[in-house]
Structure 1
Amino acid sequence: MSRINTNVQSLIAQRVLSQNNRQLNTSLERLSTGLRINRGADDPAGLIASENLRSEKSATSAAIANAERAEQVVNIAEGGLQEIAGLLNEVQGLVTATANDAGLSIEERQANQLQIDSILQTIDRLANSTSFQGTKLLNGTFDFRTSSIASELADFQVNGAKIGAGGSLDVDVLVTQSAQQGGFYLSFGGSQIDLGSGSTFVFEVAGSLGSRELSFASGTALSAIADSINTFKDVTGVSAIASGTGLLIKSIKYGDDEFVRVKVADDGQIAGANVGVYNLSALNANAVDTSTQQSFTATPVRNGITDKGQDIGATINGVVAVTDGTKASINTDFLAVEVDLVASGGSNPDAIKLGKIDAFTITGGGADFQLAPQVDIAGKVNIGIGNVA
């Protein structure tokens, strides 16, 4: 009689049954869990890939949640800023109304001032009360901290910067093209104009804001002519100073949009040596290029001669900046800043100097948001929200 441990057919049937049971259990487990891989033995390589995907999914979900939270923070800050902008518009309207001195009584002006004071107090309250989960947003909490600010800067603003934990970021400005004003030197040959009998000197001065025609009699001091030009500088965009035996006439601001135009309608038979219109030196805004003299009776001067300004050219931390006058800015994913160089300083202001400026150092601050699954500096966004109080 055959025993089962020597019955080959029975052993084969037992092995097949065991395999079927294992496969059945695996299928039932997959059906119950919804997963093809439940343990390493199911598919070692597939398990590694699935765990990596599961980790990426979790990180991506967290990044999406972070982005939604960041949107909420920004929306709250924007709402507060919109309220403040509306209040500032009210202040502007009240200031304009109060400037109408002849049409307002003292009591009305005082009432307007009280309203302005109340609005300013409201702005302070908004700045100190706009918050997200207890964190104030508009009182400078999320403003960037800076140090080592160069004297060459008239102003600057940090809108965004990615800084490693506990680190800092140096901001360097390389001026590659000087900022320029439009301008001329009008030489009259003395400290006052010397004209023919009964004559007047009539000329038009124009700038980016407008123009004015001025007329002067013989014997008028250059300082008086400069004062007359400066009286209208808010409507012409041009200023003047008496310098030596002439007038230094320049646009108030720097940049491609600025210019000075001089048109002599009547030279009044002016007498004197070297009288006429001269261009200014490109390297020294207060120096005269003596090789460019044109007489007051020259056709270009009669028709109107124009000199344009020039925007500064610069790079910030190696990135070519967008410029306007003496201002330069960049907006990249790692750094977003605006700088305004000093436009005063004698004959060679910082805005027209070529070379490198160690502008300032960002030492921290800003609102830091993690918007990518990978936790590193590339996946972060850091924006600055200044104090609006």
Structure 2
Amino acid sequence: MALSITNNVSSLNAQNNLTRANNSLAQSVERLSSGLKVNRGADGPAALVISEKQRAQIAGLKQAIDNADKAVSLVQTAEGALNEINSLLVKIRSLAIDSANAGVNDADAQAANQAEITNALDTINRIANNTQFGQKKLLDGSSGIKGISNDADTTVLKTSTATKAGNYAVAVTTAAQRATATAGTAQSGNLAADETLTVNGVSITLASGLSQAQVVSRINEFTTQTGVTADTASGATRLYTNQYGSAADLSVISNVAAGTTSSGFGTTLVTDTGVDVVGTIDGSSFNGVGNVLTATSGNANGLTVQFATSATPTTSVTGAQGTVTVTDNSLVFQIGANQNQTASIAINAVGPSGLGLGLAATGNQFSNLSQIDVTSAGKAQDAIGVIDAAIDDITNLRGDLGAFQQNTLNSTINNLQTTLENTVNAESTIRDTDFAEEIANFTKNQVLVQAGTSVLKNANQQPQLVLSLLQ
């Protein structure tokens, strides 16, 4: 072995190995102290890229779980308010049934029931307008799907969760018709004798000497029982049902032969049935019920509109009926860790004017819950129908909210928690320090540093051997 002083290769070799061992020891110390085996890009470029993406996903999953929990709280707030509205409707229904008991109740009792119902309706309206989560109103319709028509003859009754936002042209191709019967002979003089007119099974006595105007007025006194209104057309007495459509039936017969001094209907039974509306919404044709038309398919699915009466009281308007603009203000929840992973639910208005809609098409004298009146037995009967429809509206909405909470939010939370657990596990495998392995590396590197230091000391002493040759 050659001995030299200028270049101590053994020392350089020892220094190189000592530096490597020292760097490895420092890396082990860093991993043990930080708990991470990837602390910088140099520790594992591919691992760093994957783990950073997983960290972003983990943070997103945690926030999505928090978002879904908040959504559950919101839904429970709305459902709690709907439960109270449902209780009020049950109470209102009991009052209406009490008022329908005409054999017992007098006008004062029915008026007292009406006063209590009015108070309950005010409470329902207050709950609908004031229920909110934070600053967000929940039940006033601002969180639902709403339709507005630009035609005065078309009224949007309701939409459904299937109705898409957009503009929908509406037209009536077959006008709705009321059942109609016109006297075969126009009454031109006062009744010559007493007459009994039977309208829809209800006997109406007409006293001798009544003029045509008085006959019309007398028939209209029984409208709540017969569902029929009387007027004159082309000089003759005309009867027509308050209800539109194929469910509207009219029968009339008199016990006096037709003549100018009788009602003019005669002793032959006259019957008629109404016609349901047929129309188009967004270019698709649908068959309606009475004067109410509902889209059952397409983007407008669930959109229900009602058509006004034309200049002729026995038919609805016909032809083009403007455009209905539907806006979707559904509550949207970000319940996923990634873009566009959302869920939504619409909560339409539940105030009295938005409940029990559409029964007017079946002959009910009330168009919605806010109009109910129980000051007579006949009105109370119609009120019960509207109240039942309102209860259906509320319970169906509560069912939708319950299904959304259970099947969408709770299931999503469970899935997100499982995904979070697995993602954290994957990120841990890539990035976390394996302490058992790293302690072994630390011990090895620590020994190598100590050994290297000792060897370097000996290597630095080798040039001193040259002195022994110079003596």
TM range (shorter): 0.5 to 0.7
Written as runs of structure 1 = structure 2, the 5 A alignment for 1:39-118 is 66=67, 69-94=70-95, 97=98
Which of 182, 185, 188 pairs up with 1:186?
182
- What is the rounded CA distance, in whole Å, between the counterparts of 1:49 and 1:172 in structure 2? 49
- 1:59 to 1:242, Cα distance in 2 relative to 1, 3 A: farther
Is 1:306 aligned to residue 295 of structure 2? no
Contact 2:171–2:280 (8 Å) recurs in 1: yes
1:36-78 Cα offsets, whole Å, 9 max, x none, are xx9999xx99999999999889878866765554444233212
1:72-123 Cα offsets, whole Å, 9 max, x none, are 4233212212212322432454466578899679997897677556645644
- What is the rounded CA distance, in whole Å, between the counterparts of 1:308 and 1:162 in structure 2? 29
Percent sequence identity is 22
Is 1:228 aligned to residue 233 of structure 2? no
Which of 338, 345, 348 pairs up with 2:310?
345
- 1:58 to 1:313, Cα distance in 2 relative to 1, 3 A: farther
- What is the rounded CA distance, in whole Å, between the counterparts of 1:116 and 1:84 in structure 2? 13
Contact 1:367–1:385 (8 Å) recurs in 2: no
- What is the rounded CA distance, in whole Å, between the counterparts of 2:72 and 2:298 in structure 1? 18
For residue 82 of structure 2, give the secondary structure of its aligned residue in structure 1.
helix
Contact 2:178–2:314 (8 Å) recurs in 1: no
* Structure showing greater Rg: 2
Contact 1:98–1:112 (8 Å) recurs in 2: yes
Contact 1:276–1:296 (8 Å) recurs in 2: no
- 1:212 to 1:122, Cα distance in 2 relative to 1, 3 A: closer
Contact 1:371–1:381 (8 Å) recurs in 2: no
Contact 2:277–2:293 (8 Å) recurs in 1: no
Structure 2 unaligned residues grouped into runs of 5+:
2-34, 354-471
Match of 2:463 in 1: none
Return the offset for 1:184: 3.0
- What is the rounded CA distance, in whole Å, between the counterparts of 1:359 and 1:234 in structure 2? 34
Contact 1:193–1:218 (8 Å) recurs in 2: no
Is 1:248 aligned to residue 238 of structure 2? yes
- 1:64 to 1:336, Cα distance in 2 relative to 1, 3 A: farther
- What is the rounded CA distance, in whole Å, between the counterparts of 1:67 and 1:336 in structure 2? 28
- 1:358 to 1:49, Cα distance in 2 relative to 1, 3 A: farther
- 1:95 to 1:172, Cα distance in 2 relative to 1, 3 A: same
Return the offset for 1:242: 1.8
- 1:238 to 1:64, Cα distance in 2 relative to 1, 3 A: farther
Return the offset for 1:353: 1.0
Structure 1 unaligned residues grouped into runs of 5+:
2-31, 164-168, 206-210, 278-294
Is 1:174 aligned to residue 175 of structure 2? no
- 1:59 to 1:229, Cα distance in 2 relative to 1, 3 A: farther
Aligned residues: 338
Contact 1:312–1:325 (8 Å) recurs in 2: no
Written as runs of structure 1 = structure 2, the 5 A alignment for 1:1-389 is 66=67, 69-94=70-95, 97=98, 119=120, 122-123=123-124, 126-127=127-128, 130-133=131-134, 135-139=136-140, 141-142=142-143, 149-160=150-161, 170-192=166-188, 200=195, 202-205=197-200, 211-214=201-204, 216=206, 220-256=210-246, 258-264=247-253, 268-271=256-259, 297=268, 302=269, 305-316=271-282, 318=283, 323-330=288-295, 338-347=303-312, 351-355=316-320, 357-360=322-325, 362=327, 366-370=329-333, 373=336, 375-376=339-340, 380-385=344-349
For residue 345 of structure 1, give the secondary structure of its aligned residue in structure 2.
coil
- What is the rounded CA distance, in whole Å, between the counterparts of 1:111 and 1:200 in structure 2? 39
Q: Which amino acid letter does the alignment assign opposite residue 227 of structure 1?
A: S
- What is the rounded CA distance, in whole Å, between the counterparts of 1:321 and 1:58 in structure 2? 50
Q: Which amino acid letter does the alignment assign opposite residue 259 of structure 1?
A: A
For residue 281 of structure 2, give the secondary structure of its aligned residue in structure 1.
strand
- What is the rounded CA distance, in whole Å, between the counterparts of 2:176 and 2:112 in structure 1? 45
**After the TM superposition, which of the residue ranges 51-60 and 328-337 deviates more from structure 2?**
51-60
- 1:92 to 1:199, Cα distance in 2 relative to 1, 3 A: closer
Return the offset for 1:252: 0.8
Contact 1:162–1:377 (8 Å) recurs in 2: no
Return the offset for 1:253: 1.9
Which of the two has greater helix per residue? 2
Q: Which amino acid letter does the alignment assign opposite residue 313 of structure 1?
A: G
For residue 253 of structure 1, give the secondary structure of its aligned residue in structure 2.
strand
TM-score (norm 2): 0.50
- What is the rounded CA distance, in whole Å, between the counterparts of 2:160 and 2:335 in structure 1? 20
Q: Which amino acid letter does the alignment assign opposite residue 74 of structure 1?
A: V
- What is the rounded CA distance, in whole Å, between the counterparts of 2:107 and 2:117 in structure 1? 15
- What is the rounded CA distance, in whole Å, between the counterparts of 2:47 and 2:297 in structure 1? 40
Which of the two has greater strand per residue? 1
- What is the rounded CA distance, in whole Å, between the counterparts of 2:123 and 2:195 in structure 1? 57
Contact 1:98–1:109 (8 Å) recurs in 2: yes
Alignment RMSD, CA only? Answer: 6.0
1:208-228 Cα offsets, whole Å, 9 max, x none, are xxx324455776533333333
TM-score (norm 1): 0.58
- What is the rounded CA distance, in whole Å, between the counterparts of 2:59 and 2:322 in structure 1? 45
- 1:242 to 1:49, Cα distance in 2 relative to 1, 3 A: farther
- What is the rounded CA distance, in whole Å, between the counterparts of 1:332 and 1:60 in structure 2? 37
- What is the rounded CA distance, in whole Å, between the counterparts of 2:137 and 2:204 in structure 1? 56
- 1:96 to 1:305, Cα distance in 2 relative to 1, 3 A: closer
- 1:386 to 1:120, Cα distance in 2 relative to 1, 3 A: closer
- What is the rounded CA distance, in whole Å, between the counterparts of 1:269 and 1:118 in structure 2? 52
Contact 1:171–1:359 (8 Å) recurs in 2: yes
Contact 1:149–1:359 (8 Å) recurs in 2: yes
1:307-349 Cα offsets, whole Å, 9 max, x none, are 2321343324x56667332223447896666443342231389
- What is the rounded CA distance, in whole Å, between the counterparts of 2:274 and 2:179 in structure 1? 7
